[in-house]
Structure 1
Amino acid sequence: MVVLSSFNWSFEIYKWQGLASTIQPISAKASAEQTLGSLATSLLTPNRIGEYGAKAFYFNPSLRKRIMALNLIGNLSQMCITTIFGVIGLSFFVILYDLPLVTKNLNWPQLLAILFGCVLGLLFGLKKLTTTKQSKTLQFLRELPKMLLLKTLVLSFLRYASFSLQWYVLLSLFGISLSFEDAMIIVSSMYLLASIIPSFAIFDVVIKGGVAVYLFGLLGVPELPILIITTLMWILNLAIPAIIGSYFVLIFKQPKTEYSL
Structure 2
Amino acid sequence: MDLICTIIAHTLSYRSKQYLFRLIKISIVLAALYFIYQKIVHNNTLHFSEFYNILSENNAFSVKTLSFLLILSTINWLIELFKWQLLLRPFKNISLKQACEQCLGSLTASLITPNRIGEYGAKAMYYEASFRKHIVAINFINNILQLAVTTIIGLIGLFWFYRSFDTPLNLEHLAIYSTILVLVLSFIGWFILKGNFKFKQVSIKKLRRFFKRFPKKTLYYGFGLSLLRYAVFSFQFYFLLQIFQIHLPYFEAISVIASMYLIASIIPSITLFDGLIKGSVSVYLFAFVGAHELIVLSITMVMWMLNFMIPSLIGCFYVLNFKHSNKIDS
Give the TM-score taking structure 2 as reference length.
Answer: 0.73
Aligned to 1:172: 242
Q: Which whole-Å CA distance do the structure 2 matches of 1:121 and 1:90 have between them?
A: 22
Q: How many residues align?
A: 254
CA RMSD of aligned residues (A): 1.7
SS at match of 2:289: coil
Identity between Structure 1 and Structure 2 (%): 46
Shift in Å, 1:122:
4.4
Q: Which residue of 2 aligns with 1:116?
A: 179
AA aligned to 1:20 is: L
Map of 1:259 onto structure 2: 328
- State the SS of the aligned residue for 1:135: helix
Q: CA deviation at 1:174?
A: 1.4
Of 96, 100, 107, the residue aligned with 1:39 is 107
Task: Provide the C-alpha distance between the structure 1 equivalents of 2:172 and 2:291, rounded to a whole number of angstroms.
Answer: 31
Aligned to 2:287: 217
Q: Residue 37 of structure 1 contacts residue 249 of structure 1 at CA under 8 Å; is this kept in 2?
A: yes
Contact map agreement 2:90 2:215 (CA 8 A) in 1: no
- Does structure 2 conserve the Cα–Cα contact (< 8 Å) formed by 1:59 and 1:255? no
Aligned AA (1:211): V
The answer to whether the 8 Å contact 1:90/1:189 transfers is yes
Which structure exhibits the higher relative contact order, with contacts defined as CA atoms closer than 8 Å and separated by 6 or more residues? 1
CA contact (8 A) 2:125 2:132 kept: yes
Distance in 1 of aligned mates of 2:193 and 2:301: 42
For each residue in 1:48-72, what CA deviation from the matched residue of structure 2 results, as whole angstroms up to 9, or x when unmatched? 0000000000000000011100000
Q: How far off its partner does 1:97 sit?
A: 1.3
SS at match of 1:23: coil
- Are 1:195 and 2:258 matched, yes or no? no
Amino acid at match of 1:119: V
CA offset digits 1:40-93 (Å, max 9, x no partner): 000000000000000000000000011100000000111111111111111221
- Give 1:129 deviation, angstroms: 5.0
SS of residue matched to 1:14: helix
Following TM superposition, by how much is the alpha carbon of 1:126 offset from its aligned partner in structure 2, in angstroms?
4.7
Deviates more, 1:53-62 or 1:130-139: 130-139
Q: Which amino acid aligns with 2:144?
A: L
Which of 1 and 2 has greater Rg? 2
TM-score (norm 1): 0.91
**Matching of residue 75 in structure 1 with residue 143 in structure 2:** yes
